[in-house]
Amino acid sequence: MPLTDTQIKGLRPASSPVKRSDGGGLHLFVSPAGGKLWRLSYRYDGKQKTLALGAYPAVSLADARLKRADAKKLLESGIDPAQQAKVEKTNKLIASTNTFAAIADEFLAKTEREGKAAATLTKKRWLLGMAKAELGRRPISEINAAEILVPLRKVEAQGNYETARRLRAVIGQVFRYAIATARAENDPTFGLKGALTAPTVTHRAALTEKKAFGGLLRAIWGYEGKPETRAALQLMALLYPRPGELRQAEWNEFDLDGGVWTIPVTRTKMRREHRKPLPAPAVDILGDLHKLTGYGRLILPSIQSPLRPMSENTLNAALRRMGFTSAEATAHGFRATASTLLNESGKWLPDAIEAELAHVGADEVRRAYHRAAYWDERMKMAAWWADNIEAMRHPID
């Protein structure tokens, strides 16, 4: 006879275990200690087996019957319910350990092993810190797009649209790493591409007209502030590197006799070594600078500590003191100026200019070609650019 709740509640423990059947292999096992445990007896592959279904009253009579029905369906499909239960238990354990936070930390460790720049790692940690607040404890395989949208909307609500865009991108990187390591099946961030407010693109200020740029050059060469700052701005004009590449440059990167500056892979944006030809005026400026800072590792140390590089704010503040607003000139703007004027001259192959700017080419072959075949042209271009800077500083009316 099938069991009833009244019967189950009335069962009392005995000196030996008691079994009460509900039919279909389902029975309640009452231990001498008073525990009431659901069991399902069944045959699989010719063997008698037992499946634990939980304890009463946490698993009610109705729940136990549903579990019996589920087990019967598995048996009809040729699946052992006990083995299936083990698989589900293992999957839950894996899911509980493969949280978003755990996999994000693995991803960051991998990124660090790959030699990414410290600044890149710092940004990723900062962004993922915001994501962990909402998603950190969740199994990554269970996170959906709606959940990811929660931290993104919080960032957007503060008006930080570009940060929200970058946050979505780095969350997507974690998911793709999880997919590659067989702990997730899809990247929900793909479905959010159109959900975020697009940030307004603002280009870095740069003077791209010769007369205006000549005025900036005269101001730089006549700058009466710290000589290290003046030298830094002069080198930015002559060499137009990324500001961080120059500010963090070390003396061992420069071959002044050979006229070459080798920027190591750890500091270039494109994660590959970049060699720049040094025109004669740049070598002279570096020679004078060495008398001031050659005692240390950095060519442009901070005022606060010789172990820290000059900040980008130092260069931009100097430009402000010279009377140039942030809408007119920035440290990064020298790259746009050089690119514009070199291309407008018509004297140099666009690919040679791109190679000098350390931009990525169309493919790996093209990038290798940039570094090798265009070196002679880049040396000539560096000398020509230095001559033109001199001419723009001293225009002939």
Catalytic residues: 242, 269, 332, 335, 359, 369
Residue showing tokens 């503060």 = 158
Contact (Cβ atoms closer than 8 angstroms) between residue 68 and residue 40: yes
DSSP state of 191: G
Bridge partner residues of 38 (DSSP): 28, 54
Closest CA to 314 of 297, 331, 289, 335: 331
CA distances from 355 to 145, 180, 361, 366, 368 (A): 40, 33, 8, 10, 10
Closest CA to 249 of 258, 238, 239, 262: 262
CB atoms within 10 A of CB 182: 8
For residue 9, count CB atoms less than 10 angstroms from its CB and return exposed for 0-12, middle for 13-18, buried for 19 or more.
exposed
Residue showing tokens 């350990």 = 97
DSSP state of 198: P
Residue 265: both structure tokens together: 């892979």
Instruction: Provide the H-helix boundaries in the chain.
Output: 5-10, 61-76, 81-97, 100-113, 118-135, 145-157, 161-180, 210-221, 227-239, 243-247, 280-293, 312-321, 333-345, 350-356, 364-373, 375-393
CB atoms within 10 A of CB 89: 10
CA pair distance 59, 82, nearest whole angstrom: 17
Contact (Cβ atoms closer than 8 angstroms) between residue 40 and residue 51: yes
